[in-house]
């Protein structure tokens, strides 16, 4: 699926998120407690270290260009995912093993969210937006400009 260059960084991160989802699923199928726990903690680490920033970047860069239905859907899905990831983050912080099933539920929701963004949200934005909003989206996703050393 063709992706506008401005949001390719987000799509690359989606690819990484889906591979974490697959790891959680395979670990669940294995039935091996150690593998399930490891996959759950890897998902929690990725959430803490990368995915929270990814969600924030989407809200910052894309919300101004979304219609109200898209905005409501994005914010609602992000809120739900923050809630589902919270117990995994707590396990990561405390060193206590995650509850069986928590990672699988969070991973399912993450996969649905990524697929909605790729197939519905990003596709809709690409079909609707002219070229100039993409410049501001790209600039927003690139982050604050670094001042030259003086």
Contact residues toward Fe ion (CB under 5 A) are 58, 117
- Closest CB to Fe ion among 35 and 86? 86
In eight-state DSSP terms, residue 66 is S
Long-range contacts of 66-69 (CB under 8 A, 24+ apart): 66/121, 66/125
Q: How far is the CB of 14 from Fe ion (least distance, A)?
A: 6
- Closest CB to Fe ion among 58 and 70? 58
Which residues, 6 or more positions from 72, have their beta carbon under 8 angstroms from its beta carbon?
none
- Closest CB to Fe ion among 56 and 96? 56
Q: How far is the CB of 99 from Fe ion (least distance, A)?
A: 24
CB 18 within 8 A of CB 26: no
Q: How far is the CB of 134 from Fe ion (least distance, A)?
A: 17
């Amino acid at each position: 699926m063709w992706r506008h260059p401005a949001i390719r960084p987000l799509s690359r991160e989606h690819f990484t998120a889906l591979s974490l989802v697959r790891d959680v699923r395979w670990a669940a199928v294995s039935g091996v407690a150690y593998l399930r726990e490891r996959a759950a903690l890897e998902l929690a680490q990725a959430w803490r270290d990368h995915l929270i920033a990814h969600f924030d970047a989407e809200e910052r860069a894309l919300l101004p260009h979304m219609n109200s239905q898209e905005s409501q859907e994005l914010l609602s899905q992000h809120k739900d995912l923050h809630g589902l990831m919270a117990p995994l983050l707590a396990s990561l912080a405390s060193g206590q093993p995650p509850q069986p099933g928590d990672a699988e539920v969070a991973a399912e929701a993450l996969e649905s969210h990524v697929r909605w963004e790729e197939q519905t949200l990003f596709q809709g934005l690409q079909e609707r937006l002219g070229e100039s909003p993409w410049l501001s989206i790209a600039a927003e996703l690139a982050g604050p400009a670094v001042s030259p050393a003086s």
